[in-house]
Amino acid sequence: MTGAEVTSAQAVWESWFRAFLTIHQAWPDAVEVACPDGDGGRMRVGYLADPDTRLGTAMAWCDKCRRGIYISRVSVPEGAPMAGFEASAAEQASVVPPDLELFDPDPAPPSTA
């Protein structure tokens, strides 16, 4: 049964990633996506990025359970909420709340770090 845990973590991450993608690809329209946990919460997405290149990290989280994922090296779509890497903590917190419980990054591919 080795690998069962990995597969489960992967499936969970992918369900959150699909929720993120739905929102990410809809900008500048704001779409409603339910929390993959089915807790009645709504998914939110915010971006921390370089204001010049608009490349950065996306956070996708549930406004109820406060859990979520982050995806790096993302191009920020027009109309999406974004704060610069150099922005103040308060400004970043207005885009991405500081109290989120983020899952580990995508467990599927081997780490390249």
**Cα dihedral sign, 90-94-61-72:** negative
DSSP strands (E only) in the chain? 43-49, 55-62, 67-75, 82-84, 101-102
Closest CA to 34 of 52, 48, 20: 20
Nearer to Zn ion, 41 or 81 (CB): 41
Contacting residues toward Zn ion, per CB under 5 A: 35, 37, 39, 41, 62, 64-65
Nearer to Zn ion, 42 or 54 (CB): 42
Nearer to Zn ion, 39 or 91 (CB): 39
φ, ψ for residue 82, nearest 5 deg:
-140, 140
Closest CB 64 distance from Zn ion, rounded Å = 5
The CA distance from 37 to 112, in Å, is 29
Closest CB 66 distance from Zn ion, rounded Å = 8
Closest CB 44 distance from Zn ion, rounded Å = 10
